[in-house]
Amino acid sequence: MNKRIAVLTGGLLVVMVSLGAEKKKPILGYTDTPKLPSGWCVHDIDRPQPPVVTPAGQIGQPPSDAIVLFDGTDASAWEGTVQNNPKKKKYNPEGEMRWKVENGYLECTPTGDIKTKQKFGDCQLHIEWQTANPPHGDSQHRGNSGIFLQDRYETQVLDNYNNPTYADGMAGSVYGVKPPLVNACKKPGEWQVYDIIFQAPRFDGDKLISPAYVTVFFNGVLVQFNEPLLGTSTHRKVPVYESHGKGALRLQDHNNDTRFRNIWIRELDLTKDDTKPE
Ligand code: MG
């Protein structure tokens, strides 16, 4: 084939392909397919489009629909825990937030737990934490804090780098119930990252309809997968549920100077997709 014929043939092909593309409308979905258990057809054209969320340029930073709970300087989303007994060391009748904000982090002081003013249900939480370097204390007394979803359900925070303790109290554990799948703890002094997906329990009056479930990534490593919770976290007892609505995110004061930064949350409704088509 000489050059001229090749160019002509190529041009014809381009014309044919572009004509074909103009004629053919893209298939965006179907209405004649069998139904899924959800009630939607397979590839249903009417199934609602998920909303657009703009991811952050750097992974770990808040995406467009996140509520930023601590950006390094502003701790106004937080309040202290009310303690009305003047004889107690952590006496705090107004519930003031008394943790330290400095150098881009929030540091636990021995003044009681802090919690968000806003309450949450199902959610995705990103939180970074750091324990003291050099470390001090052993077992449960080394960098202990905790992340309590809905003010009740603790994902343990602990310096577990060469620090043996009971397995269901390790960093990344569902405290008192389920050890992490692996120990992904970095050295003390390094920033550690939790990404937590939490499905709140469902109640009908006082009756539990569905337990809470938690999935936890610890420094990017899966340590809990959709783990069903037994109830409100507790020490040396089997947890039980008590009926409740949305709850604050609470950070524990365990008398260790653990630090937190880059805290953001996305509100979710993890049962929404079960909604049947109208
Ligand atoms: Mg704890």
Nearest to 192 by CA among 60, 57, 56: 60
CA distances to 55, 56, 160, 237, 262 from 59, rounded to whole Å, are: 8, 6, 25, 38, 12
> Has residue 4 got a pLDDT over 80?
no
Superfamily name and number for 67-267: Exo-inulinase; domain 1 (2.60.120.560)
Phi, psi of 213 (to 5 degrees): -130, 145
SS (H, E, C) 196-235: EEEECCEEECCEEEECCEEEEEECCEEEEEEEECCCCCCC
Determine the pLDDT at residue 51: 84
In sequence order, which residues have a C-beta less than 8 Å from that of residue 84 and are 6 or more positions away?
91, 93
| Distance from C-alpha of 52 to C-alpha of 64, rounded to nearest angstrom | 9
Contact 151, 157 (CB under 8 A): no
Beta-sheet pairing, 145-149 with 247-251:
antiparallel
Span from the CA of 175 to the centroid of ligand 1 (angstroms): 7
In sequence order, which residues have a C-beta less than 8 Å from that of residue 2 and are 6 or more positions away?
none
Where is pLDDT greater, at 89 or 6?
89
- Lowest mean per-residue pLDDT among 112-116, 176-180, 273-277: 273-277
Span from the CA of 145 to the centroid of ligand 1 (angstroms): 4
Span from the CA of 144 to the centroid of ligand 1 (angstroms): 5
- Lowest mean per-residue pLDDT among 88-92, 107-111, 154-158, 266-270: 88-92
Determine the pLDDT at residue 21: 53
> Has residue 2 got a pLDDT over 70?
no
| Tokens, residue 238 | 């089997």
Contact 160, 186 (CB under 8 A): no
> Has residue 50 got a pLDDT over 90?
no
Contact 106, 98 (CB under 8 A): no
Determine the pLDDT at residue 238: 95
CA distances to 20, 132, 183 from 161, rounded to whole Å, are: 62, 12, 8
Determine the pLDDT at residue 56: 87
**This prediction's pTM:** 0.87
> Has residue 192 got a pLDDT over 80?
yes
Span from the CA of 182 to the centroid of ligand 1 (angstroms): 18
Span from the CA of 268 to the centroid of ligand 1 (angstroms): 25
Provide the pLDDT confidence category of residue 1 given band limits of 50, 70 and 90: very low
